[in-house]
Structure 1
Amino acid sequence: MKRRNFLRAAVVGAGVTAFGNTLTSGALAAPAQNGPSPYGPLRPPDANGIALPEGFTSRVVARSRQRVAGYVWHDAPDGGAVFADGTGWIYVSNSEIAPGGGASALRFDANGTITSAYRILADTRRNCAGGAMPWGTWVSCEEVDGGYAYECNPRGPASAAVRRPAMGRFTHEAAAADPVRKAVYQTEDISDGCFYRFLPTTWGDLSSGTLEVLVAGSATSGPFTWAKVPDPDGSPVATRNQVRGAKRFSSGEGLHYANDTAWFTTKGDNRVWQVNLLNNTYELAYDDSLVNPGTPPLTGVDNITGSGSGDLFVAEDGGNMEICIITPDDIVAPFLRISGQSSSEICGPAFTPAGDRLYFSSQRGTTGSSSGGITYEVTGPFRR
């Protein structure tokens, strides 16, 4: 993994929180290894069952099938993002159920008080992850064969959401915008999935454009190119099978972009990939089979986000129900752990614009059922 020299957080476009970094030149290095967390060890679980470092606190902000600000929060909360909203912010969250998935939002004032909650997307299927766009919209992705990406207004209503077929029909997982190259990257959650790039005809308008797929060899690092997907509709030939040499990834999951770099996770092999978009090369940022010595701290890799300090936060689907940190110094360590919820997964980590609050969900909570989802907020001295 190339050493990373990170910049501070920046706000891009219409109030979307984004985090930047630059890559220094140098030889390839080993993926991230076990080490001490910059936040110190985890304390015993708090009243919410969350083990956190010293100085951090948690609270529950929503529960599936329970009212929050008069709105019944959705089942199976999954991928999410935070959008600036005046002096406050909005957290959006997908619902990974079918039928009746979609996405909802929580609006907070400057003090972190929830002022409203509402639906922003309805009547879709297994909305897993997605991505915040620099112009202030949320792209929510269907994790089903022939699934669509939907563009939503975080401020609602659900009727304002628009299907974006030009972004391709496949088992969508996550999306991330690259304002430099005017591209939106996408992961595919299937065992022989691909990594895609969508180039809108007009930046800021996802209604038309060109869908491309990453082409590379079978190695875990090296150069890559992009090739056009002839038929983004994916019928009768799936998008991943239309281009010879398209690189296969074992069930793509979360995706995070920061200046000239995309990181994404693959749950089939517990890896975090790093794509250098300046040099058109890729490599491993983390691989649980290469952690030495000791037991890999991060397994069941899923959603991923970044902080202003350049730390990556990776949520686990299973594992120890942790969010782990990968630092710019290539150290991986637990940041938090949820106890008593071994039949769940952690989803939707996202920071506020100020970088002092982290939101995420336990998709099935203590019940192990989609109706038991819990959405949390963690506040504390995050590195910025």
Structure 2
Amino acid sequence: MARTSKDAGGKPLCGNIHRPVPQLPAAVAGDPGRAAAIIGAKGKWANRTVLHYSFFTKGHYAIPKKQADAVRAAFAEWKGVGIGLDFVEVPKLAEAEVRIGFSLADGSSASNVGREILMVPVTEPTTVYGWDLTTPYGHGTALHELGHVLGMEHEHQNPNAGIVWHEEAVYAELGGPPNNWTRDTTFHNILAKLPPSQVQGSTWDKDSIMEYEFGPGLIDLPEEFDVRGLTPPGTLSAADKEWAVKWYPGAAAEPKRLDSFQAAPARLAAGEQADFVLKPEESRKYRIETTGASDALLLLFEMIDGEPRYLSGDDDSAQDRHAAIEHKLFAGRTYVARLRVVHPGTSGTTSVQYS
């Protein structure tokens, strides 16, 4: 979970709790293109996912209406970029993937990253805000934490940034109140570089909504930030928008009908997706499975009141098997299977069938 705390000067300084890069089998790690695709796609949602969000209304994380409205506006701003994800507010926390709380007492903001949200118990928040979101700075915080929800990482840890830190100054700054971080925590939150496969692009975007403000005296190089510090605008940058549309393109082909016992081939590049409509003729347990040498994410949804609701999923990335889902399907109902290719393998062709 990414955590943001207020420093002595009242400015937020954000870092990630250490999330180790997945250890890949030797055969996979030996293929740089495949390894980069798997690590880069880790935690990203399938496109056209409907993310349901809900607010805590009582207890420690109860969120005031004006703060909730600021988060709603941030969701709308991300959607306005033209991405293929949808955000739907629901009244019950148990029905939401994204559960949002607010706590001035904690004085920190936090969000799990991408599909890691699904591992959080449904009684706990996945995203917490710790200060006023109605100010310009607070609006940037709202956008930033939702960037984590989309699967974005911190920009100040981009290895392409060329940042050289005054390391002892950073340790001293974050080792004191209110953060009181250990040296290890500070290293993993600020000084450690992300693997190149996890960054948004080939260059550092100092204006990214995922970049946070640092005061003077913490950055040695680039020299311009040593004296005046680094102050991003707190808005979605052009690169932020480009990243979001790349991972979640708004334009989409109509889903194809997939009949039982018939394979549907799909020639997809890394990051591309195909959707299929399933209308079973009998009620029983079915097996939905991919074939081919690709690394793939396979998801199953049921259409309820015109909206896809998640049922199950499987990701075979870096494993010597195919993605497969076994689930009972009912005659007369409509389901959607989504296939997102992480790495296309040698043939570049993947197929889906159910039986």
More helix by share: 2
* TM-score of the aligned structures, taking structure 1 as reference length: 0.23
More strand by share: 1
* TM-score of the aligned structures, taking structure 2 as reference length: 0.24
| Higher Rg of the two aligned structures | 2
